[in-house]
Structure 1
Amino acid sequence: MPLLARTVNTPLAIEVRRGAIAELGPLLADRRISAGGDVALVVGPGQGERIADLCRPGLGRADLFPVTGGTLDAAHDLGDQLRARSYDAVVGIGGGKTIDTAKYAASRYAVPMVTVATSLANDGIASPVASLEHQGRKGSYGVHIPIAVVVDLDFVEDGPDAQTRAGVGDAVSNLNAVADWELAHRVRGEPLDGLAVTLARTGAEALLNHPGGIADDDFLTVLAEALILGGLAMAVCGSSRPASGGCHEISHALDELAPGTASHGAQVGLGALVCTYLRGERSRFAQLARCLHRHGLPRTAAELGVDDDLLAEALVRAPQTRPDRYTILEHLDLDRVAAGTRLADYADALAAVAV
C-alpha cells in the first residue's frame, strides 16, 4: 500500500520569548540562514533603528534599510535597493507595514525573509500574504512565507495595548473563517483542506479559552502562536480561506464606508461575532462575545465607532468585496431592511450574554 504525503513549507525557526531580538545573529547562524551576518535589516519608523542596534553585534555585515508607508511603491523601491549586493536574507523588523514591505521585496527578488515582529496586531507575521496600499487602496499580494519568525515579548509588551488587542480579534476571527469555509463546502462543494482548518482552529481555540490577558507572558505567547498558525494555515492551502471569511468581508466594507475608523483586528473581531450569530451558533456566539469583552474589543457598532445604519450597510456591501468567496453573508443575501432587522436581533442576543 503506497504511503501518500504532502510537503508543507514552514519556517525553519520560530522563536517567541523575551530577549529574542538580541540573539538574532546566533539564531540565523545556527539555522544556517546566515553564518556571516550578510543580511538586509529593514526597519520601520519609530523604534526600528534602536532594535536594529540590538541585532548588530551578531550581524556585523548587515545593511540597514529604513522604510515607511507600507505601500507597493515602497516595497518596489526596497526591492531595487536589495539588488546592490547579495544578501543571505532580508530581515523585516517592526510592525505589520514594515514586515509586509519586506516580505514583498524579498519575494520579488527570491531572497529568504525573516520576520522580527515587535507587535502582535495581525497574522501577517507568518502569512504568505503582503497587505500593501496602492493608489489609495489596500491590496493583498502573494509572497513566500518567512524562513524564520521571531517575536520578542519585551517589545510587544512595550507597544500599544490597542495593537495587541487587535491581534486577539484577528486570531479568534479564524473560528468564523473556518465555519464559513465549512458552510461553502456543504452548500457548494468547495474543497476543504483539513490540515489548514486544524491549524487555524487550534490556535484560535487556545486563545478563545485562555484565562489570561495581554499583560501575561503566557497569554502573549499563545496569541503569537495563534497568529503564526493562522499564517501557516494559509500557506498550507494556498489561500486566505482559513483566516478570512465573512468577518473580513465586513471589515473591507467598513474600510470603504468609514476608512480609518478602527483597526483591522477590531473590525474582524466584531465581524466574526456578527457572522457567528447569523449562522445560529449560539454557544460559540456566547464564547466569542465573552472573549471580545474580556480583552476590551468592540462588540457593537457604537463601540467600534460607527452607527447601526452604517454597520447594516456594511453587511449588505460586504459580499461585493470578495465576489469569489462564499460565506454566511452570501448564503443569506441580506438586503438593507433584513440586515437592519438581523442586527437588532443580534443586539438583543448580545445583551443576554453574561460577562
Structure 2
Amino acid sequence: MSLLARTVMTPLAIEVRRGAVADLGPLLADRRISAGGDVAVVVGPGQGEKIVELIRPTLGSADVFTVAGGSVDAALDLGTRLHTRSYDAVVGIGGGRTIDTAKYAATRYGIPMVTVATSLANDGIASPVASLTHDGRKGSYGVHIPIAVVVDLDFVENGPDRQTQAGIGDAVSNLNSVADWELGHRVRGEPIDGLAVTLARTGAEALVNHPGKITDDGFLTTLAEALILGGISMAVCGSSRPASGGDHEISHAIDHLFPGTGSHGEQAGLGALFCTWLRGDLERFGQLARCLHRHGLATTPAELGLSDDQFVEAVEFAPQTRPDRYTILEHLALSASEVRTRLADYAGALRDHLD
C-alpha cells in the first residue's frame, strides 16, 4: 500500500523559555544554520541592542545592522546592505516591525531568517507574512517562514504589558478566522485545509482556556506557542486564511478609517468577539468575552476608544479591505442600521456574560 504525505515547511528549531537568547550561538551551530556565526544580526530600537551585547561573544563574525523597521523602504535598504556579503542567515531581533523588515529583506535575497522575538504582540514571529507600510498604507507581503524561532521569556516579561495583550487578541482571533473559513467552505465550496485549521484552532483553544495571567511563565509559553502555531498554519495552507477572517477585516477597516486607534491585536480581538456574536455562537462568545476581559483587552468599542457610530462605520467598511475573502460579514451583508441594531444587542449580551 502506498503512503502519501505532504512536505510542510516549518522552523528547524523553536525555543520558548527563559534564557533562550544566551544559547542562540550554539543553537545556530547545532542546527547547522551557521557554524561560525557568519550571520547578519538585525535589531531595532529597544531591547534588541541589549540582546546583541549579550550574544555577541557567541557569534564570532556576525555583522549588526540597526533598522528603523516597519516599511518596505526600510526592508529594501536592509536588503541592499545584506547583499554586500555572503551570510548563512539573517537574525532578526526585536518586535514585530523589526522582524517583518528582516523577513522581507532575507526573502528578497534568499537568505534563511531566524526570529528572536522580544515581544509577543502578533503571529508574525513565525508566519510567512511581513506586515509593512508602503506609501503610507500598511500591506501584507509573502515571505519565507523563519528557519528558527527563539522567544526568551525574560525579555518578553520586561516589555510593555500592552504588547502581550495585543498578542492575546491576535491569537484568540484565530477561533473566529477558522469559523469564517468553515463558513466559506459550507456556503461557497471554498477549499479548506484540515491541518491548517487544526494548528490555528489548537493554539487558540489552549490560550483561551488557560487560567494563568500574563505574568505567569506557563501562560506566556502558551501564548508564544499559539502565535507560532498560527504562523505555521498559514505556511501549511499557503495563505492567511486560518488566521485572518472578519476579525482582521474589522481591524484593517479601523486602521484605514481611524488610524492610531489601537494595536492590531486589540482590534482583531474585539473584531473576533463581535463576529462571533453575529454568528450566533453564544458559547464561544462568552468564552472569548471572558478571556479578553480577564486580560484587560477591549470588549466594547468605547474601551478601544471608538464611538458606536465609528465602530458601525468600520464594520460596514470591513469587507472592502479583503474583497476576495468570505466571512460572516460578507455572508450577512448588514447595512449600517442593521449593524447598529446588532451592536446594541451585543452590548446587552456582553453585560450578561461578564456580570
Instruction: Give the TM-score category using the shorter length.
Output: over 0.9
Q: Name 1:39's counterpart in structure 2.
A: 39
- Distance in 2, matches of 1:72 and 1:330, equals 30
Q: Name 1:25's counterpart in structure 2.
A: 25
- Distance in 1, matches of 2:228 and 2:302, equals 31
- Distance in 1, matches of 2:30 and 2:56, equals 16
Distance apart, 1:354 and its partner CA: 3.6
CA deviations over 1:99-140 (Å, ceiling 9, x no partner): 000000000000000000000000000000000000000010
Q: Name 2:217's counterpart in structure 1.
A: 217
TM-score normalised by length of structure 2 = 0.99
Distance apart, 1:269 and its partner CA: 0.2
Q: Name 1:257's counterpart in structure 2.
A: 257
Q: Which runs of 5+ in 2 are unaligned?
A: none
Number of residue pairs aligned between Structure 1 and Structure 2: 355
**Structure 2 matches for 1:224-235, cutoff 5 A?**
224-235=224-235
Distance apart, 1:49 and its partner CA: 1.5
Q: Name 1:202's counterpart in structure 2.
A: 202
**Structure 2 matches for 1:131-142, cutoff 5 A?**
131-142=131-142
SS in 1 for 2:130: strand
Q: Name 1:175's counterpart in structure 2.
A: 175
- Distance in 1, matches of 2:191 and 2:95, equals 33
SS in 1 for 2:191: coil
Distance apart, 1:191 and its partner CA: 0.3
- Distance in 2, matches of 1:171 and 1:333, equals 26
SS in 1 for 2:132: strand
**Structure 2 matches for 1:68-79, cutoff 5 A?**
68-79=68-79
Letter in 2 for 1:25: G
- Distance in 2, matches of 1:3 and 1:69, equals 45
Q: Name 2:266's counterpart in structure 1.
A: 266
TM-score normalised by length of structure 1 = 0.99
Letter in 1 for 2:51: I
CA deviations over 1:5-50 (Å, ceiling 9, x no partner): 1000100000000111111000100000000000000000122221
Greater than 4 Å deviation, 4+ residue runs: none
Q: Which runs of 5+ in 1 are unaligned?
A: none
- Distance in 2, matches of 1:93 and 1:320, equals 34
Letter in 1 for 2:62: A
- Distance in 2, matches of 1:276 and 1:336, equals 18
**Structure 2 matches for 1:1-355, cutoff 5 A?**
1-354=1-354
Letter in 2 for 1:291: C
SS in 2 for 1:69: coil
- Distance in 1, matches of 2:76 and 2:69, equals 12
The share of aligned pairs that are identical, in percent, is 78
- Distance in 1, matches of 2:140 and 2:74, equals 15
CA deviations over 1:235-277 (Å, ceiling 9, x no partner): 0000000000000000000001110110100000000000000
CA deviations over 1:275-302 (Å, ceiling 9, x no partner): 0000000000000000000000000010
- Distance in 1, matches of 2:18 and 2:82, equals 30
Pairwise CA RMSD: 0.6
SS in 2 for 1:352: helix
- Distance in 2, matches of 1:190 and 1:48, equals 42
Distance apart, 1:63 and its partner CA: 0.2
Distance apart, 1:69 and its partner CA: 3.5
